[in-house]
Structure 1
Amino acid sequence: MHIHSLAVYPVKSLAGIAVDSMSLDEFGPQGDRRWMIVDGRQKFVTQRASPELAMVSTRFDGADVVVSIPGEGEFRLVPQADPCDVEVWRDQVNAVLGAPEASEALSRFCGKRVYFVYMNEATFRRVDPDWVPAYRRVSFADGFPFLVTNTASLDELNTRLDQPVDMRRFRPNLVISGADAWAEDGWTEMMIGDVSISLVKPCSRCILTTVNPDTGVRSPDGQPLRMLASYRKTPDGVMFGVNGVHNTRGLLSVGDRVSIV
């Protein structure tokens, strides 16, 4: 088994960036989902309600995040001094507003008022203690620093679909190859070099998986979620991939050997 691919998502629910390697910091993959979009009530906004966000690309310019908004151009996301309390799932989180020019451009693109917000180092959002007793932090990711998926599981799913989908639908950070389909259901810890990652819970999937990452349009037939629900549904949801928390920092690179312990 080895790392097939890696991805970082600088802004929650915008397009991700495929990378050859990623450094891990206290939050998880460095630079992952430290930015988020909120509405006028300061609640998080994602592709679940705004699938067009898939068309907004991101890139790093040094330590800065640059977004490219269709019809509007490129904007550098710059944290301001203005604090705000924002909501992501059940968590109330301290954040700061981004520069207004980018927020105004994204508002025009989405057709509603939205704002970029940033999680700085002073903010501590805890990983769900029901799954991770240790006092660990997480960015604006849904709940855990990592999402790990398996290429063989996607291949198996695609044998059931009329139109195959690619792994971007599932927005993983870490994609593993060389394992059997659905082997990840039984994984509890992986070692990649000196990096240890605990796999703490299966990942329940939602309507976001039906958004085509190339067009920002939902699948009219509800795929691949509808097919997954026919054979991967549990009392906790429709499962694809596993959520993880890193126990050590380090560097992960495509091609690295993966061991399950």
Structure 2
Amino acid sequence: MRIKELNLYPVKSLRGIPLDRATLGVRGLAYDRNWMVVDQVGRFVTQRQMPGMARVTVRLEEDWLVLEHPEAQPLAIALARRDQPRLTTYVWDDACQALDEGEEASRWLTAVLGDLRGSALRLVRFDDAHRRPVESRYLQGEEAHTAFADGYPFLIASQASLDALNRELQQKVLVPLPMNRFRPNIVIEGVSAFAEDGWNEVMAQEGQYRFGLRKPCQRCKITTINQANGTIEVPGEPLQTLIQMKTQPLRPGAYFGQNATLLTGEGEVIAVGETLHAK
């Protein structure tokens, strides 16, 4: 099997960036979920509340994070800056230390997305000095931490699993979905559908990096949002179909992909086309 896609999401719940290669870190691909949008009390905001976030595109330049929207001039954030005010932010039940990217970013986001129940939006950056541990009960002796991802530093999915889901959707006379509905970091091809659910580890052919697959990814409303335009065309799908497929027979709900940690290989480069092995 080999790597078909690599995807980076610098700002949680904004549009992703397809990559040919990326540097691996304990917290994920370099810059993955390093920023997020929060409300005025620091609570994370995602496409679950604001589907229009899918329309904000993201670019990483040598010195800048650049956000773009069809109805605004681009917003540029300096990558090297570290003198911003600190604040506490919240992802689910985790309190995370962050840096506030300032009033210009707040005005830009609120202008293009609107306010959230009367609250202006802010852009924050993960504080590199902060450690947000992964839930230990699913780990197997390793230590792991992440930035602003929902809970794990990596999400791994397979093309065959998406193909199987799309066959079921087409039987319902529904349009096949692209992989970006599931926002994975690493997409694998050359395996059978949902083979990833039986793996404990995935590693490079030459052994330069290893991932531990630790928890099936339960899916949410974001999978129902068209990532090109921020609209929900078929409410409830593909969640209803995934539930019917029972991809995790012992777990109620819709599951697709595996949450993963980096076991070895911090600082190594991962690239599309590389051969992988699983066990």
- Mark yes or no: TM-score above 0.5: yes
- Work out whether 1:106 is the aligned partner of 2:109: yes
CA distance in 1, matches of 2:235, 2:46: 21
The Cα offsets for residues 160-207 of structure 1, whole Å up to 9 and x where unpaired, read as 112000000000000000000111110110111311000001100000
Measured in 2, the distance between the counterparts of 1:231 and 1:160 equals 8
1:128 maps to what in 2?
A: 135
Higher alpha-carbon deviation: 230-239 or 17-26: 230-239
Which residue pairs with 1:118 in the alignment?
A: 125
1:64 maps to 2:70: no
Gaps of 5+ in 1: none
TM-score between both structures, scaled by the size of structure 2: 0.90
2:235 counterpart residue number: 221
1:169 aligns with 2:181: yes
Offset at residue 149 of structure 1 (A): 0.3
The percentage of counterpart residues that share the same residue type is 37
| CA–CA distance in structure 2, aligned partners of residues 226 and 149 of structure 1 | 19
Q: How does 1:144-155 map to 2 (within 5 A)?
A: 144-155=152-163
Residue 191 of structure 1 is matched in structure 2 by: 203
5+ residue gaps, structure 2: none
Contact 2:240 2:254 in 1 (8 A): no
Conserved in 2, the CA contact under 8 Å of 1:204 and 1:236? no
Are 1:204 and 2:218 counterparts? yes
Secondary structure of 2:162's aligned partner: helix
Q: 1:152 to 1:5 in 2, by over 3 A?
A: same
Q: Distance in 1 between matches of 2:63 and 2:32?
A: 12
Aligned to 2:274: 256
Q: State the TM-score, normalizing by the size of structure 1.
A: 0.96
Shift of 1:98: 0.6
Aligned twin of 1:11: 11
Output the aligned Cα RMSD: 1.4
Match of 2:47 in 1: 47
Structure 2 CA distance for aligned equivalents of residues 106 and 205 of structure 1: 26
Change (3 A) 1:179 1:121: same
* Corresponding residue SS for 1:159: helix
Whether the aligned pair in 2 keeps the contact of 1:69 and 1:106 (CA below 8 Å) is no
- Is 1:237 matched up with 2:253? yes
